[in-house]
Amino acid sequence: DAGITQSPRHKVTETGTPVTLRCHQTENHRYMYWYRQDPGHGLRLIHYSYGVKDTDKGEVSDGYSVSRSKTEDFLLTLESATSSQTSVYFCAISGTSGSYEQYFGPGTRLTVT
Amino acid sequence: SQQGEEDPQALSIQEGENATMNCSYKTSINNLQWYRQNSGRGLVHLILIRSNEREKHSGRLRVTLDTSKKSSSLLITASRAADTASYFCATDITGGGNKLTFGTGTQLKVEL
């Protein structure tokens, strides 16, 4: 398995609270991605990064922000969690180009009550 | 709407049979990839086919790509119970930047 971890793996939080999910890689890959997975929607891209401090929005970025201050870490923040953000969140990394093979982390199951 | 749509949404077969799932997409692509996801796990890359390729093999996997029809198929031959998983196609859209667009997936169940 690619050296990619996510923390926490499970989290329950209340509506209106901020939440930060962490993705950590040991592969020194340039590209990192945050997806959410919901029944009937497959994986949808939230934000991605193409280098330290270089990030861009994906398909469903509203309500989320990201930061990447080091190559190995990519943080996803839900500024004020809502029930619609209950989902499974996956981080992925890619080396040469994000358009090629992506390696996925184990996922974080987030429940917003 | 999704760039990639898999068909069927669910498929149930017996061990030893072949499984075929299809993916259709809407816009021009540079490549198309297939991923597998076991229950409760992250996705695992299976195979990549470039837009100028028509067929590719990897072990028991065979992928075809028809750019004129904007479709791809994944064939798993001699399926095993361990092949039970969800399968997703993902497209690298021309001019779309360094990211992939995933379909909604096909749930494959291989029964003993």
**Contact: B98, A92; criterion CB under 8 Å:** no
Given an 8 Å threshold on Cβ–Cβ distance, is A98 in contact with B99?
yes
3-state class (DSSP) for residue A84: helix
- The predicted model gives B51-67 an average pLDDT of 97
Mean pLDDT to the nearest integer, B21-34: 94
Of B30, B41, B88, the CB nearest to A99: B30
pLDDT in tens, A78-88: 999 999 999 99
Q: How does pLDDT run across A8-49, given as a tens digit for each residue?
A: 999 999 999 999 999 999 999 999 999 999 988 889 999 999
Q: By the CB < 8 Å criterion, does B107 face chain A?
A: no
Does the structure show a pLDDT above 80 at B80?
yes
Output the pLDDT for position A1.
Answer: 55
CA–CA dist A104, A48 (Å, integer): 13
Q: Closest chain A residue to B97 measured between Cα atoms?
A: A99
Contacts for B64 with CB less than 8 Å, ≥ 6 apart: B49, B54, B55, B72, B73, B75
Q: For chain B, what is the mean pLDDT? A: 93
Comparing CB atoms, the residue among B92, B99, B105 nearest residue A48 is: B99
Residue B83 is given by DSSP the state G
Cβ neighbors of B89 (< 8 A, separation 6 or more) are: B4, B6, B23, B25, B32, B33, B34, B35, B72, B74, B102, B103
Given its phi and psi angles, is residue B78 left (phi above 0), alpha (psi -120 to 50 degrees) or beta? left
